[in-house]
Amino acid sequence: MLAVSAVLRLALALGTDVYFDTAYYWQWARHLAWGYYDHPPLAAWLVAVLGIHATALVCGALTVAAVWGLARDVYGDSAAAWRAAALWSVVPVGMVAGVWATPDSPLLLFWTLGLWALWRERWVW
C-alpha cells in the first residue's frame, strides 16, 4: 500500500498542473521574506529551496516516516507502525499534503515530529 500510494503521489505531483495556491507560494518563493500577510514563511522557503513538486513530495514522504516512528514508539511493534504508515499514506489529507506544496505539507510534518518528540519525552509531563 505504501509503494502504491508513493507512486500515485508522484504521478499526481508530476502529472498535474500547478495548483493556484501552490502558484501563490511559488510567487512568494521568488521574493523571500520573514513573513507574509496570511501565512508563515516556511512554505515559500521550502519552495525556493526544493521546488514546487519536491516540497510536497519530500514533506509527504517524511510525514509518513514520522508517523511510522511515532506508531513504533507508541505501540512498541513494527507491524503496527507499518499499518499506521500505510493508513496515513491513503488518508485524503495525507495524500493532498504530499502532492500540493501548501503550508499544510510542512505543518503536518512538523506536527507529527512534535507529537513524536512529546511521546519520547513523556517523562516531562
Residue 16 gets which letter from DSSP?
A: S
Residue 11 confidence (pLDDT): 79
Residue 82 confidence (pLDDT): 94
Residue 69 confidence (pLDDT): 97
Confidence of residue 119 (pLDDT cuts 50, 70, 90): very high
Residue 124 confidence (pLDDT): 67
Closest CA to 94 of 62, 117, 52, 53: 62
Residue 17 confidence (pLDDT): 74
77-118 pLDDT, tens digit each: 999 999 999 999 888 888 877 788 888 889 999 999 999 999
Q: What is the pTM of this model?
A: 0.85
Question: Residue 105, Cα to own-chain centre: how many angstroms?
Answer: 4
Task: Specify the 3-state DSSP secondary structure of 100.
Answer: coil
- The span from the CA of 125 to the CA of 122, in Å, is 5
Closest CA to 3 of 74, 81, 82, 73: 82
Is the Cα dihedral 19, 22, 28, 32 positive or negative? negative
C-alpha cell at 79: 507491524
Residue 38 gets which letter from DSSP?
A: S
5-30 pLDDT, tens digit each: 777 787 777 777 777 677 788 888 89
Cα diameter, the chain: 47
C-alpha cell at 60: 509527504
Residue 123 confidence (pLDDT): 67
